[in-house]
Structure 1
Amino acid sequence: MRENTTEVIVGAAVLAAALGFLWYLIGAAGFGGGPVGQELRANFRSAEGVSVGTDIRMAGVSIGTVSGLSLNTDTYRAEAVFAIEEGVPIPDDSAAVVASEGLLGGTFVEIVPGGSFDMYADGALIEDTQGAVSLIQLLMTFVGRDGA
């Protein structure tokens, strides 16, 4: 009888760990997501490192995720769709910048708030954007300079 009790306890612990891991994976993949307050769009010259599920941050705090990313074949720019959390108003003169956490860190989209008293409406386009800066291009520019 004692062996059965131990097996049941160990089995329950394994099942709880598996369910916790599954819950984490669903949240990390962006399927679970909480309530979305609004959806915003932005066009980038380069969205290198950005994918569906990438964090949207303001002042270093996560306020949403990238929910869609596609190429506009008319403008040849990356079109991103942002799912912003409910209750986070964003001034309509804000900028969206593709940023990096460091040399080896991940990529995220930083919303740099503007000073306007008017806020973006649901589905609005953020016009002030700055795409990803390629580390290789920066190094090539630095190396390519001559001493003059």
Structure 2
Amino acid sequence: MSENTTDVIVGGAVLAVAVGFLLYAGQATGLSGGGSEYELTASFRSADGINVGTDVRMAGVKIGRVTDITLDPGTYRASTVFSVLQGIEIPDDSAVAISSEGLLGGNYVELLPGGSPFYLEPGTEIEFTQGSISLVSLLMKFVAGDDKEDQAE
């Protein structure tokens, strides 16, 4: 009889830990309805390194996530939809850029607030954008630049 009681207690503890882990994973990935959000859009020349679920940050603080990325067939630009937490008002002259966490880190969407007293409405497109910068192309330009200097001497 005591073995059955022990099995029930251990099983309940394992089940509680599993439910806790699922709740934590849902909050960490943004799947839970932890707060209301509104959507903004932006169009990038290059959206390398970001995907659905990528963080949207302002001043290094996560304030949202990317919810959709599609190719606009008319402009050949990456149309990006991202959510921002309700209560965070973005000035209408703000910019959005794809930034890198470092040489080996991933990319994220960074909101750079402007100074306007007017704020973006939900669904508005942010006009001022800066796409991702390819580290490989920068290194190739650096290497090609050094070769040209060596050939000139």
- Per the normalisation by structure 2, the TM-score is 0.90
Task: State the partner residue of 1:51.
Answer: 51
Deviations 1:93-121 (A, max 9, x none): 11101011111112110000011111001
**Structure-2 residue corresponding to 1:70:** 70
Residues 64-108 of structure 1: CA deviation (Å, up to 9, x unaligned):
111111111111100111111010000011110101111111211
3-state SS in 1 of match to 2:79: strand
Q: Which residue of 1 aligns with 2:116?
A: 116
CA distance in 1, matches of 2:79, 2:27: 24
Once structures 1 and 2 are overlaid, which stretch shifts more, 6-15 or 59-68? Answer: 6-15
**Unpaired segments ≥5 residues, structure 2:** none
**Which letter does structure 1 place at the counterpart of 2:53?**
G
2:33 and 2:94 map into 1 onto residues whose CA distance is: 24
Query: How many pairs are equivalent?
Result: 148
**Does 2:79 align with 1:79?**
yes
Over the matched positions of the two proteins, sequence identity in percent amounts to 56
Deviations 1:29-59 (Å, cap 9, x if unpaired)? 4332433332100000111111111110000
Question: Is 1:93–1:114's contact at 8 Å kept on the other side of the alignment?
Answer: yes
Q: Is the aligned partner of 1:142 residue 2:142? A: yes
Alpha-carbon distance in structure 2 between the residues aligned to 1:108 and 1:8:
45
In structure 1, the partner of 2:100 is 100
Equivalent residue letter for 2:114: G
Which has the larger Rg?
2
Contact 1:28–1:53 (8 Å) recurs in 2 = no
Alignment RMSD (CA, Å): 1.4
Change (3 A) 1:65 1:33: farther
Partners of 1:92 and 1:118 lie apart in 2 by 6
Residue 28 (structure 1) shift: 4.0
